[in-house]
């Protein structure tokens, strides 16, 4: 079974600084997708960024970028120029393309605080 591990229950960052959230996963599949979701106190789950396993290039969305290391099964999220609105729970998630069912497996989450 696929598992997703986020080893940092809580992180903090100064406003305008950069922070990296860690995620590792376990799978025997070669074709899959990885995601980072953000959940602010409003509880709305927001898709931050997506990475296809077959792509070597790391995904980037504005201030958010990932470091995808397929061999190490590592998928970290870097947030640059942190803003107060970035404070939230961040969940790493895995989806196996071969299942055909789009199921997501989530990590336990990292709570990010942004210090003004």
Partner 1 sequence: SAVISQKPSRDICQRGTSLTIQCQVDSQVTMMFWYRQQPGQSLTLIATANQGSEATYESGFVIDKFPISRPNLTFSTLTVSNMSPEDSSIYLCSVGTGVYEQYFGPGTRLTVT
- Contact set with partner 1 (CB under 8 A): 33, 35, 37, 42-47, 50, 91, 95, 97, 101-104, 106-109
Nearest-angstrom CA–CA distance, 97 and 106:
15
CB of 102 to partner 1, least distance (A): 4
Nearer to partner 1, 37 or 75 (CB): 37
3-state helix, strand, coil in the chain (%, to 5): 5, 55, 40
3-state secondary structure of 84: helix
Nearer to partner 1, 36 or 116 (CB): 36
Cβ(48)–Cβ(63) below 8 Å: no
Nearest-angstrom CA–CA distance, 63 and 68:
16
Nearer to partner 1, 28 or 42 (CB): 42
Q: Is the dihedral of CA 59, 108, 41, 15 positive or negative?
A: negative
Nearer to partner 1, 9 or 81 (CB): 9
CB of 73 to partner 1, least distance (A): 18
CB of 106 to partner 1, least distance (A): 5
CB of 94 to partner 1, least distance (A): 10
């Amino acid at each position: 079974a696929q598992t997703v591990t986020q080893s940092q229950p809580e992180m903090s960052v100064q406003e305008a600084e950069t922070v990296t959230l860690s995620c590792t996963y376990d799978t025997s599949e070669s074709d899959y997708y990885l995601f980072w979701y953000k959940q602010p106190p409003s509880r709305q789950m927001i898709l931050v960024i997506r990475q296809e396993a077959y792509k070597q290039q790391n995904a980037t969305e504005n201030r958010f970028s990932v470091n995808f290391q397929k061999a190490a099964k590592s998928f970290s999220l870097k947030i640059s120029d942190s803003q107060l609105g970035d404070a939230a729970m961040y969940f790493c998630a895995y989806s196996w393309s071969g299942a055909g069912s789009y199921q997501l497996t989530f990590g336990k989450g990292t709570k990010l605080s942004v210090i003004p």
